[in-house]
Structure 1
Amino acid sequence: MALDTYIDLKDVRLTGYVSQGLIALSALESVWGTITDWQGGSSSWSFLAIVLVVPAGVASLLWFRGVTHNAEAIALHGVRTPAQVWRASDPAQRDIPFDERVASPLIRPWQYTLLAMVGCDIFESLLLDTPAYVVFSTLSTLASVGAAGLACYLIFRVSSMQRKFAVPQPRGRRG
């Protein structure tokens, strides 16, 4: 779909790639930590997954700040939530009034799996050295993998959709 208007947008690719990488690394580490837990290993692996969540969260917030800025420029509308960013960024809905646009149906499941992961992480931390620890470690890992997959997909799609609105960059001179 060719758009007739290009908008000067922030390039969110780097923060998107970093976010996706850190999110995936955190989920993989959570899987490894849970496997270690099943084998009676140290809970420090699960703690490392929690530590990796912090830089992933910071990178994701930086990415979200950039795509929110871009979405406001695209839609000329106040944009604050992931659903609003999607609705503003979707070029297929460009001719539909903003309030009638639809967001990705994957945003809510991502939010719920993220909350489930955080809740399980809290219980996991409170139940160290108990038999229930491994149960919550496993549940946290399942939620982590689900949330990571959904987050990486949503980051990729929003970044890709916004690129369709960006001002084309001039290519080097051909001599």
Structure 2
Amino acid sequence: MDTYIDLKDVRVIGYVTMGLIALVAVESIWGTVNDWQGGSSSWSFLAIVLILPAAVASVLWFRGVTHNAEAIALHGVRTVSQVWKASDPAQREAPFEKRVASPLIKPWQYAFLAMVLCDVFESMLLDTPLYVVFSTLSTLLAIGAAALACYLVFRISLMQQRFAVPQRKRG
């Protein structure tokens, strides 16, 4: 017997989201290298220009995967952890409350939060020697947060696609 759940295809918006997140990380690297060489405010403007579409794409992707996760799990889904639990085909037979989310979700959230805090300190310390320290730390955290975010977007999109395509039961 085949299993099929009519889901939104989130792969394209997921790829766009991952690409924009990667561009933001690359811009962060480039801006920090520029900071080491004397700095320029144009890089901050470019960061804002790239962050806005990345945020919009991320929200659109999350709305799609949340919709899909609710259809898969028949359970209220509101967080990335819940989306993972609902979307993981390996845990399909376990009750929702006993499913386990990816251990990489918390590190991604903490890296993102730490990056934002470093950005705040960076902007407060513009004309001091600590500016470059916080700029560099922010960039390292941005790289980590971006890598984890891209991994999570890719895996969740892939897991949900397994539910959208008819699968033959083996046995």
**Which TM class, normalised by the smaller chain length?**
over 0.9
2:66: which partner in 1? 68
Structure 2 CA distance for aligned equivalents of residues 120 and 62 of structure 1: 27
Q: Which runs of at least 4 in structure 1 moved beyond 6 Å after TM superposition?
A: none
Identify the structure with bigger relative contact order (alpha carbons < 8 Å, sequence gap 6+). 2
State the identity as a percent: 78
Structure 1 CA distance for aligned equivalents of residues 25 and 110 of structure 2: 16
1:115: which partner in 2? 113
Residues 2-21 of structure 1: pairs in structure 2 closer than 5 A: 4-21=2-19
Structure 2 CA distance for aligned equivalents of residues 101 and 156 of structure 1: 20
1:147: which partner in 2? 145
Residues 24-35 of structure 1: pairs in structure 2 closer than 5 A: 24-35=22-33
Residues 1-175 of structure 1: pairs in structure 2 closer than 5 A: 4-168=2-166
Q: Name the stretch that deviates more: 141-150 or 38-47.
A: 38-47
1:89–1:161 contact (8 Å) kept in structure 2: yes
Which letter does structure 2 place at the counterpart of 1:130? Answer: T
Q: Deviations over 1:142-163 (max 9, x none)?
A: 0100000000000000000000
- Unmatched tracts of structure 2, length 5 or more: 167-171
Return the TM-score normalized by structure 2: 0.93
Distance apart, 1:167 and its partner CA: 4.2
Structure 1 CA distance for aligned equivalents of residues 9 and 27 of structure 2: 29
Structure 1 CA distance for aligned equivalents of residues 143 and 165 of structure 2: 35
Q: Deviations over 1:29-66 (max 9, x none)?
A: 10011011111131432442243222111100100000
Which letter does structure 1 place at the counterpart of 2:148? Answer: L
Q: Name the stretch that deviates more: 95-104 or 50-59.
A: 50-59
2:169: which partner in 1? none
Q: Deviations over 1:78-109 (max 9, x none)?
A: 00000000000000000000000000000000
Distance apart, 1:117 and its partner CA: 0.9
Structure 2 CA distance for aligned equivalents of residues 52 and 115 of structure 1: 18
Structure 2 CA distance for aligned equivalents of residues 167 and 161 of structure 1: 11
Which letter does structure 2 place at the counterpart of 1:97? Answer: P
Return the TM-score normalized by structure 1: 0.91
Count of matched residue positions in the alignment of Structure 1 and Structure 2: 166
Which letter does structure 2 place at the counterpart of 1:89? Answer: S
